[in-house]
Structure 1
Amino acid sequence: MTTSTTSNTTSVAEESANDWWQSGVIYQVYPRSFLDTNGDGIGDLAGITARLDHIASLGVDGIWISPFFVSPMADFGYDIADHCQVAPMFGTMADFDELLAAAHERGLRVLIDLVISHTSERHAWFAQSRADRHNDKADWYVWADARPDGGPPNNWLSLFGGSAWAWDTRRCQYYLHNFLASQPDLNFHNPEVQDAVLGIVQFWLDRGVDGFRLDTANFYFHDQQLRDNPPLGVGGQTVGVHVTNPYSYQDHVYDKSRPENLVFLERLRRLVDTRPGTAMVGEIGPDRDPAATTAAYTSRGKRLHMAYAFSLLGDAFSAAHVRNVVERFEAAIGDGWPSWAMSNHDVTRVISRWRLEQHADRAAPMLLALLMSLRGTPCIYQGEELGLAEAEIPFELLQDPFGRQFWPEFPGRDGCRTPMPWTADAVHAGFSFGTPWLPVPLAHAQRAVSVQEADSASVLARVQRFIAWRKGQPALQRGSIRFMADVPAPLLCLERQVPGHTLRTVFNLGPEPMTLAMADAPAFLPQDGHGFAAQMQGATLVVPGFDAWFARRDDKAEDVA
């Protein structure tokens, strides 16, 4: 079991406050689609502040805010032109300060999205770097000469399609871009780049943020020899890449997840640790072995506090899949700490991805309860608490460059980024009094916050009850985890254990009622207050479709692992 230790100089209370991220729940805000307060159709920082009471009512502990920095918005904020300024479309630095203060008043911690593997081509650093080969920032990005035939330096591919190299006519060289050509990659082999990035971190720490979500945290370093990536081989697949993308054909051993990355993450951790209670959650971008990478990146006390991969963000959905994923992570993680998500701004919403639209009212609360029952820090994406399904966006309204590149086989990420529905009978469901940057589906308006707040049986109400109940369950916050064998699909049975007691949970991942014989049931006391209806009938557990059961057993000291 992974637990926190108390040093001679740190009280238990202080340690608990500093390690809030281990027991807490994080809520992701995509600011462009949260709430628009000025009618330009784009959500803003003032909109987040206006809806902090909704976030606080969920009972979550922190919010992760996707990028709101100065950017040309080629990738909707993940192409940053100035890391230390707020984009005017989102407001001002004063708006951010107000948001931060208001969140802290409500006991919410604020993590901001730190995108440092690359910048926008409009960043002042890149403008200087591309000017010639001899200026002070000439080596701040990854530049390479053409091959003798004029082609790119190697076979590396962009996640957004095509070569990862773009020709620059100023320097007459190629530059590396793992994403859009307008997102050149920084050269982390240059110590000056590392220092500049740490300066950005220091700026926001001084501003008072409580942590960072690190975008594509395994993309910082590249192979300095620029060796070709080998083919992945028959049956291989890079986890987190859509099958229509040739990126998945390569074994990305040279363009990311390089060993030098670990050394930089240790520098970053030392800086962040100067502010106790600050936390970092890293995104492990598409990776062949996300469990091993997560383990390396979250080695306790040295690198990231936690990290998440795309292992539960794919199309596979079954009790066996969830168990296999978590058990692989548990076998690899050691003293590290995972973060788990089933939806975010980059993937199809889980209700649609796992084809549960017709069961959303029952499936959505069950899936979030499952997410919050795994060992690790759960992250909820805005709208999950409403049971929103993926929106269908016609091609002529697509905004996402990823979707336009791979449409129609892959329609992109716009469907999970549509505006939050706040008020069912208001124009654009209360998101904006102007024309939203993406349309608000009628089906989403029908599931608006205003509708669900008035219904004690709604997805929203059930999620609120479960999170409130979870706060009193130390086993779900920090306990060890093990899965029970010989449980018929689609049931999933796991136990979380802390010294003194074991919490057993059973989830039904299917629509039909299921039964489970449980000879040791008398030793477990069913728990109330979480909002689920499964019950014991004698020695048999009866679990309705998309429902769950929770029960506690007090353990003797010799029984505790």
Structure 2
Amino acid sequence: MSKDSSPDHAQHGAGTRGGNPHWWRGGVIYQVYPRSYQDSSGDGVGDLPGIITRLDHIASLGVDAIWLAPFFKSPMADMGYDVSDYCDVDPMFGSLSDFDRLIERAHELGLKIIIDQVLSHTSDKHAWFKESRSSRDNPKADWYVWADSKPDGTAPNNWLSVFGGPAWEWDSTRKQYYMHNFLASQPDLNFHNAEMEEALLKTVRFWLERGVDGFRLDTVNFFFHDAKLTDNPPLPKDADGDEFMGADAPDTNPYGFQDHLHDKSQPENVGFLKRLRSLLNEYDDRATVGEVGDGRRSLHTVAAYTNGGDKLNMCYTFDLLGPEFSAGHFRRAVSNFQKLVKDGWVCWAFSNHDVTRHVSRWMQPGDDQDHLARFSITLLASLRGSICLYQGEELGLEEADIAFEDLTDPYGIRFWPAFKGRDGCRTPMVWTRQAANGGFSDGARSWLPVPESHYHRAVDQQVHVTGSVLNHYRATLGFRKAHAMLVDGPMSFLDPDGEVLAFVRGEGTERLLFVFNFSREPAEWAVPPALAALEPAHMPGFGPSFDGTRVSLMGLDVFCARIGR
């Protein structure tokens, strides 16, 4: 750790603003995966100076904040989600001064900066773990989750790792097992240890002092474990005995066979989130968004973590990050959230660095990829909640098909070929069609190959084209920002009608009607008598017709209208 990276050497007061404490509510967040955004050094890996050169592009979209995936010091066994120093930048990405410049330039452009905090586990190369594993009686001996074997030498219980195999690894020095929810090189921190918690919160304060506006909390429900190490029961199957109900992983991964009652989402988690919120409340206008992966209990967990105004500001789940694409599915997901999470807040997303890009998940034979991309952002931007975009979706990028020999994701390497991992959504951003590596890097090779099919979707191929996916994103986000009811207004569904999803945003005299046809076939939708004097709003890229009482929609079509008094 360099001297200026110590928590005790941070620049105090860097983040006091006194602006809008609720900027996150209904805000639009743009996720940047640093190693894939822009390479400034020619080594084929994106970095912080590269991101700085592209901030104008992000600002031009009309977003409110940037979420930066991890850039901390790390051996990169899991692409930075294995942190070896919470208070320093990995040289691969630059330096702390580069980060300070990024914060300064982003704020000049009116952009907030949210950084990824990986608090549930560290790298096994972290100084804390090196000390912890050295003996059973050192000062940090209990900072990680250690347990004796069963009498026959096997693991303490049946808990599984998300990345395959048992969630336990034997350490020959301590002659004990340590817990890891992910890779064996990502040991889990012991949140039952108050001293460890305080040290972890000190690293959070370091970044608050440096001026960050918020935190995305990785695997936020994984912090605590059942101290009794109780075995997880099997997850119930559906009536036919074929599919696990509400599984936490695809059926290629036995992690989804268990009901994870004891290795995550423990009640003690709420107390830690309150302590974290108390820390953030010492600073103006900060926000948190938590990642909740909790199978069929996800929305209940979100409610517990966001209600009361004293824990997280918002959470996101994987409800809309799967393959389901139907009016009924979206209605159920949003309705269930509104029913279960009374005073909390959600952040909706269709894509991120952990899932197949949504145009690939939802595209059917014969679909126009650009049209599906336009339909998707129009839907996302009309939902109640904050929304998160993933880099490249504003270009309509599809999932890349990565050869096995090019894989870097340990999850994909472990479960290949049934599950190809996450590299396909992490390929470099494409800026210039005619440039090497799509303008991402002038090096001989980028860390993941740029797919040939992505080149014609580069920014320079869309920026001046009316109706391009990129310009549709800009127009749609501008429409959302121009209508206050879309940022924070209520949302009420109208009676279901096949593959047509209809709902109203706003209340009183400020209301908008949205009608989405999820079918690839034309559909008719009758306007309820209570919705009188509709004034259609122009939605570029869509072609419904309206005769005053009925809306005629083409396949994957959208109708929007202001509701009169």
TM-score computed with the length of structure 2 as normaliser: 0.93
Match of 1:256 among 253, 264, 274: 264
Structure 1 runs of 4+ with >6 Å offset: none
Q: What's the % identity of the aligned pairs?
A: 53
Once residues 286 and 392 of structure 1 are traced to their aligned partners in structure 2, the CA distance between those partners, rounded to angstroms, is 28
Q: How does 1:197-276 map to 2 (within 5 A)?
A: 197-235=200-238, 236-276=244-284
Instruction: Compute the displacement of 1:373 (Å).
Output: 1.3
Once residues 510 and 53 of structure 1 are traced to their aligned partners in structure 2, the CA distance between those partners, rounded to angstroms, is 37
1:423-469, Cα deviation, whole Å (9 max, x unpaired):
01111110101110100011111111110102111000011001011
In the alignment, structure 1 residue 508 sits paired with structure 2 residue 517: yes
In the alignment, structure 1 residue 35 sits paired with structure 2 residue 38: yes
SS of the residue corresponding to residue 443 of structure 1 reads helix
Once residues 484 and 181 of structure 2 are traced to their aligned partners in structure 1, the CA distance between those partners, rounded to angstroms, is 41
In the superposition, relative to structure 1, how do residues 535 and 273 fare at CA in structure 2: closer, same or farther (>3 Å)? Answer: farther
What amino acid sits opposite 2:503 in the alignment? L
User: 1:387 aligns to what?
Assistant: 396
Q: Which piece of structure 1 moves more, 45-54 or 522-531?
A: 522-531
Match of 2:66 among 63, 67, 75: 63
Once residues 532 and 264 of structure 1 are traced to their aligned partners in structure 2, the CA distance between those partners, rounded to angstroms, is 47
Q: Which piece of structure 1 moves more, 371-380 or 257-266?
A: 371-380
Instruction: Compute the displacement of 1:486 (Å).
Output: 3.3
User: 2:504 aligns to what?
Assistant: 495
Q: How does 1:428-439 map to 2 (within 5 A)?
A: 428-434=437-443, 435-439=445-449
1:187-230, Cα deviation, whole Å (9 max, x unpaired):
00000111011101110000000000000000000000000001
In the alignment, structure 1 residue 188 sits paired with structure 2 residue 197: no
In the superposition, relative to structure 1, how do residues 479 and 15 fare at CA in structure 2: closer, same or farther (>3 Å)? Answer: farther
Instruction: Compute the displacement of 1:512 (Å).
Output: 3.0
Match of 2:479 among 469, 474, 492: 469
SS of the residue corresponding to residue 115 of structure 2 reads strand
Match of 1:292 among 300, 306, 310: 300
Query: Which segments of 5 or more consecutive residues in structure 2 lack a partner in the other structure?
Result: 1-16, 239-243
In the alignment, structure 1 residue 482 sits paired with structure 2 residue 492: yes
Instruction: Compute the displacement of 1:499 (Å).
Output: 4.4
Q: How does 1:57-456 map to 2 (within 5 A)?
A: 57-235=60-238, 236-356=244-364, 358-434=367-443, 435-456=445-466
Once residues 27 and 63 of structure 2 are traced to their aligned partners in structure 1, the CA distance between those partners, rounded to angstroms, is 7
1:505-561, Cα deviation, whole Å (9 max, x unpaired):
011223333221214354222223665433313422122322311112245xxxxxx
User: 1:11 aligns to what?
Assistant: none
In the superposition, relative to structure 1, how do residues 238 and 131 fare at CA in structure 2: closer, same or farther (>3 Å)? Answer: farther
Q: Which piece of structure 1 moves more, 546-555 or 214-223?
A: 546-555
What amino acid sits opposite 2:52 in the alignment? T
Query: Which segments of 5 or more consecutive residues in structure 1 lack a partner in the other structure?
Result: 1-13, 556-561
Match of 2:554 among 544, 547, 550: 544
Once residues 248 and 104 of structure 2 are traced to their aligned partners in structure 1, the CA distance between those partners, rounded to angstroms, is 36
Instruction: Compute the displacement of 1:356 (Å).
Output: 4.6
User: 1:9 aligns to what?
Assistant: none
Instruction: Compute the displacement of 1:15 (Å).
Output: 9.2
In the alignment, structure 1 residue 528 sits paired with structure 2 residue 538: yes
Once residues 532 and 106 of structure 1 are traced to their aligned partners in structure 2, the CA distance between those partners, rounded to angstroms, is 32
* Residue pair 2:18, 2:284 contacting (<8 A) in 1 also: no
SS of the residue corresponding to residue 202 of structure 2 reads helix
TM-score computed with the length of structure 1 as normaliser: 0.94
1:139-163, Cα deviation, whole Å (9 max, x unpaired):
0000000000000000000000110
* Residue pair 2:26, 2:387 contacting (<8 A) in 1 also: no
What amino acid sits opposite 2:112 in the alignment? R
Once residues 400 and 541 of structure 1 are traced to their aligned partners in structure 2, the CA distance between those partners, rounded to angstroms, is 46
Instruction: Compute the displacement of 1:240 (Å).
Output: 4.5
In the superposition, relative to structure 1, how do residues 182 and 238 fare at CA in structure 2: closer, same or farther (>3 Å)? Answer: farther
Q: Which piece of structure 1 moves more, 65-74 or 502-511?
A: 502-511
What amino acid sits opposite 1:421 in the alignment? V
Once residues 302 and 52 of structure 2 are traced to their aligned partners in structure 1, the CA distance between those partners, rounded to angstroms, is 33
Once residues 356 and 281 of structure 1 are traced to their aligned partners in structure 2, the CA distance between those partners, rounded to angstroms, is 32
SS of the residue corresponding to residue 304 of structure 2 reads helix
